[in-house]
Amino acid sequence: MAILSTLVFGEVTVLDLIIFAVITGISVLIAYVAGFYLKKGLSDNLRKDEMIKIVRFVQILIILAGIFISLPSFHVDFGELLLIGGTAGIIIGFASQRLVTNVGSGAFLMLERPMRIGDSVKIGETSGTVDDIRVLSTTVKTYEGIYVRIPNETVFTSEITNYDANVARRFEYRIRIRYSDDADHAMHIIGHLLEAHPFVLKNPGPSVYVDELGENGIILMARIWAPSSEWWSVRTEMLGKIKTTLEKEGIEIPVPQRVVWFAEKTGAKEENISS
């Protein structure tokens, strides 16, 4: 038992170290268990990103509480600790500027909230779904399923396009039909198809109109609003339906064509030259 009272440094004994390790270990264990039960209880009730934030916050609180409880075993003078902590903070800050910049950027990103976990975004050249926003970095899962880690400093200074920030978004189709087809009938068919789709919003409603009298056909424009979470599925579904329905109604998408005229007199002139 003498070994327990052996001094390790200052007034701290082996027993103090064991007490610290045990209390901290228990608090980590409690945090883990609490996190598990919180996730289980909240997964039906909250969005994933909000749930993760709450779970992490509670876990950090529990671990900090454990460390705080175990600190007296080190006979810590909190005044000294603050002084040491402050000085160490400055030194570490200078030594790890990039790290601190990333942490600062992460904090500002969390405050400004230009995106949330699960949003479809484009950060600089990277497009995908936000997988996680951490203290040092943001992870994005690209549409090809590739994991990309972007340092928060880069995220903060990059242009961020968030496709899900607004509840609704607009997309459009340019549909070319032949000059011989009835444009009014084609617009009526497209309008009817759009009206029947649940996620083509009633308000703002879709608009279909003749946009251009093109070189190879009449170009119809269809502008459609859909909920941001659904727009891609609506876009892919409706384009196929429009094409099939137009074809069924005898309206076809024209292939490029050019009418070439030959002058009638050319042959006669050639005859004269040869004779």
- Minimum distance of another protein from residue 233's CB (angstroms): 10
- Minimum distance of another protein from residue 171's CB (angstroms): 13
**Binding-site member from 9, 11, 45, 260 for another protein (CB under 8 A):** 45
Of 83-91, 199-207, 210-218, 259-267, the window that binds another protein (rule: CB under 8 A) is 199-207
**Binding-site member from 40, 202, 248, 258 for another protein (CB under 8 A):** 202
Q: 141-170: which residues touch another protein (CB under 8 A)?
A: 165-169
**Binding-site member from 32, 72, 198, 237 for another protein (CB under 8 A):** 198
Toward another protein, which CB reaches closer, 112 or 182?
112
Toward another protein, which CB reaches closer, 38 or 175?
38
Q: 225-254: which residues touch another protein (CB under 8 A)?
A: 225, 227, 229-230
Q: 59-98: which residues touch another protein (CB under 8 A)?
A: none
Binding mask 168-187 for another protein (x = CB under 8 A): xx------------------
In whole angstroms, how far apart are CA 78 and each of 24, 65, 72, 82, 229? 18, 15, 10, 6, 51
DSSP 103-135: HHHHHHHHHH-S--TT-EEEETTEEEEEEEE-S
- Minimum distance of another protein from residue 145's CB (angstroms): 23
**Is 100 near another protein (CB under 8 A)?**
no
Any residues with CB less than 8 A from the CB of 142 and at least 6 apart, and which?
A: 126, 127, 128, 148
- CA dist 275 and 194 (Å) reads 68
- Minimum distance of another protein from residue 227's CB (angstroms): 5
Handedness of CA 60, 63, 69, 74 (dihedral sign): negative
Q: Total binding residues for another protein by CB under 8 A?
A: 18
Record the tokens describing residue 98, joined without a space: 């990039």
Cα Rg for the chain, rounded, in angstroms? 34
Of 90-98, 113-121, 125-133, 221-229, the window that binds another protein (rule: CB under 8 A) is 221-229
Phi and psi torsions of 230, nearest 5°: -120, -5
Toward another protein, which CB reaches closer, 173 or 199?
199
Question: Parallel, antiparallel, or unpaired for β 218-227 and 168-177?
Answer: antiparallel
Toward another protein, which CB reaches closer, 111 or 167?
167
- CA dist 196 and 186 (Å) reads 16
User: Which residues here bind another protein, judged by CB under 8 A?
Assistant: 44-45, 165-169, 196, 198-199, 201-204, 225, 227, 229-230
